[in-house]
């Protein structure tokens, strides 16, 4: 597996993207480098590794054809820093060597048709993500103690997840039935008058930033719920942003998600037309038609801090938007803590009941 290892130009130490500084930093000599400097410095090496990847793809494809359907592909790469062989899944595009802890980017995984159009770099550091997580935990009384254990919290990982984003312009028309309801009282009698209107609307509707995750193996609710991201802050994709983080390559193509995305855009377009019909108490669609005039799909890598916890044979994912800090989490409940609470309440009610009985003696 062709790899790119980003090293400090000054001391040769591992180089990672620093979310706080929005620069590339070396923790050994404390040097900081601008994005353009590192991208220009490694542009040639990235291109060479991408070419090397092409030669390996035929062997990988042949191996994949021989695999049983549904079996996850494992790929071995050699760390360019220590020479260790490390196993990854087929979608892993950036990781850290488990032996020497150097960040490694698997360049070919994100080349050619798999090259993302845009990337939003992390703007929230690992320390800030941990503070956000622990702040949430302090408000929850019944979490298992191990859930906030230092070793567990340190497992939080910054991952770039792949997403499809779609902008469309549609020419749409709608016919609807509108109702206005008026009530009044005369004497002791209440009257209700319902007026029915036929409403028509037509025009061009632009729907932007409709998204769908491009990775089928991850929790869909988690990947959808950490939105929104501010795509105005996206950068043209460069592999150097992946240094120090994990990254996943898409395994859902446009054709896999297009039907679901188009159905959502259709609903948004219909609702946009309905929003031009104020003053009615009720609106029902009687006829609706649209056609797509313009459509633009982009493939993006977006930053998410992820922590998973296994409790009672169930996986609980917790995620933090690496740009905005928005959180999503399925939190476990300690049965032991709940049992202790019920026991304490039972004792309190018993004492109250006993004292209350004594007062009536």
3-class SS letters over the chain: CCCECCECCCCCCEEEEECCCCEEEECCCCCEECHHHHHHHHHHHHHHHHHHHHHHHHHHHHHHHHCCCCCCCEEEEECCCCCCEEEEECCEEEEECCCCCCEEECHHHHCHHHCCCEECCCCCCHHHHHHHHHHHHCCCCCCCHHHHCHHHHCCCEEEEEEEEEEEEEEEEEEEEEEEEEEEEEECCEEEEEEEEEEEEEEEEEEEEEEEEECCCCCCHHHHHHCCCCCHHHCEECCHHHHCCCEEECCCCCHHHHHHHHHHHHHHHHHHHHHCCCCCCCEEEEEEEEEEEEEEEEEEEEEEEEEEEEEECCEEEEEEEECCCCCEEECCCCCHHHHHHHHHHHHHHHHHHHHHHHHHCC
Taking CA atoms, 312 is separated from 105, 155, 333, in Å, by: 35, 19, 10
Structure tokens at 318: 């917790």
* 181 or 149: which leads in pLDDT: 181
Instruction: Give yes or no for a contact between 318 and 130, defined as CB atoms under 8 angstroms apart.
Output: no
Structure tokens at 149: 């254990």
Number of domains in the chain: 1
Least confident of 85-99, 200-214, 268-282, 291-305: 85-99
Is residue 189 situated within a structural domain? yes
Cβ burial of 169 (10 Å; 0-12, 13-18, 19+) is middle
Q: Give me the domain span that covers residue 317.
A: 161-330
Is residue 305 situated within a structural domain? yes
> Residues 136-148: what's their mean pLDDT?
71
Is residue 304 situated within a structural domain? yes
> Residues 173-186: what's their mean pLDDT?
95
Cβ burial of 223 (10 Å; 0-12, 13-18, 19+) is buried
Confidence (pLDDT) at 311: 72
Q: Is the pLDDT of residue 251 over 50?
A: yes
Q: What is the mean pLDDT of the chain?
A: 81
Q: Is the pLDDT of residue 265 over 60?
A: yes
Q: Is the pLDDT of residue 341 over 50?
A: no
Is residue 248 situated within a structural domain? yes
Least confident of 37-51, 109-123, 209-223, 325-339: 325-339
Is residue 71 situated within a structural domain? no
Q: How confident is the model at residue 209 (pLDDT cuts 50, 70, 90)?
A: very high
Give the highest mean pLDDT range of 52-56, 98-102, 251-255.
251-255
Q: Is the pLDDT of residue 231 over 90?
A: yes
Rounded Cα distance between 118 and 232, Å, is: 10
Is residue 112 situated within a structural domain? no
Q: What is the CA radius of gyration of the chain?
A: 28
Q: How confident is the model at residue 72 (pLDDT cuts 50, 70, 90)?
A: very low
Confidence (pLDDT) at 1: 44
Is residue 196 situated within a structural domain? yes
> Residues 119-124: what's their mean pLDDT?
95
Rounded Cα distance between 192 and 212, Å, is: 46
Give the highest mean pLDDT range of 36-45, 162-171, 336-345.
162-171
Is residue 77 situated within a structural domain? no
28-66: pLDDT as tens digits: 899 999 988 988 888 776 666 555 555 555 545 555 444
Angle at 22 between CA 21 and CA 27, to 5 degrees: 55
pTM of the model: 0.77
Confidence (pLDDT) at 358: 52
């Amino acid at each position: 597996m062709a790899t790119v290892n980003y090293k400090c130009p000054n001391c040769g130490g591992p180089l990672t993207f620093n979310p706080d500084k929005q620069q590339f930093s070396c923790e050994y000599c404390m040097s900081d480098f601008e994005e353009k400097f590192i991208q220009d410095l490694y542009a040639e090496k990235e291109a060479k590794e991408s070419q090397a990847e092409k030669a390996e793809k035929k062997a990988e494809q042949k191996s994949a054809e021989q695999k049983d359907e549904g079996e996850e592909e494992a790929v071995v790469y050699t760390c360019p820093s220590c020479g260790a062989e490390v196993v990854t899944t087929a979608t892993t595009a950036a990781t850290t060597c488990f032996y020497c802890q150097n960040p490694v980017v698997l360049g070919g995984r994100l080349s050619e048709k798999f090259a993302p159009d845009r990337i939003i770099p992390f703007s929230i550091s690992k320390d800030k993500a941990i503070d956000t997580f622990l702040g949430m935990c302090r408000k929850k009384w019944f979490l298992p103690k191990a859930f906030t254990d230092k070793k567990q919290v340190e497992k939080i990982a910054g991952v770039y997840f792949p997403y499809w984003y779609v902008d469309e312009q549609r020419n749409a028309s709608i016919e609807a039935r509108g109702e206005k309801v008026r009530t009044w009282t005369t004497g002791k009698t209440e009257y209700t008058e319902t007026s029915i209107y036929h409403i028509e609307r037509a025009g061009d509707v632009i729907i932007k930033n409709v998204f769908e995750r491009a990775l089928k193996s991850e929790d869909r609710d988690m990947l959808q719920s950490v939105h929104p991201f501010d795509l105005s802050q996206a950068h043209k994709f460069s592999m150097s942003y992946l240094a120090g983080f994990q990254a996943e390559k898409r395994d859902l193509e446009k054709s896999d998600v297009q039907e679901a995305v188009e159905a959502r855009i259709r609903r948004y377009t219909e609702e946009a037309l309905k929003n031009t019909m104020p003053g009615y108490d009720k609106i029902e669609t009687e006829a609706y038609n649209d056609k797509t005039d313009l459509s633009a799909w982009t493939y993006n890598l977006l930053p998410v801090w992820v922590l998973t916890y296994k409790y009672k044979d169930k996986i609980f994912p917790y995620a933090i938007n690496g740009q905005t800090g928005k959180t999503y989490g399925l939190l476990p409940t300690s049965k032991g803590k709940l049992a202790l609470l019920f026991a304490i309440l039972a004792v309190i009610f018993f004492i109250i009941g006993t004292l209350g009985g004594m007062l009536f003696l």
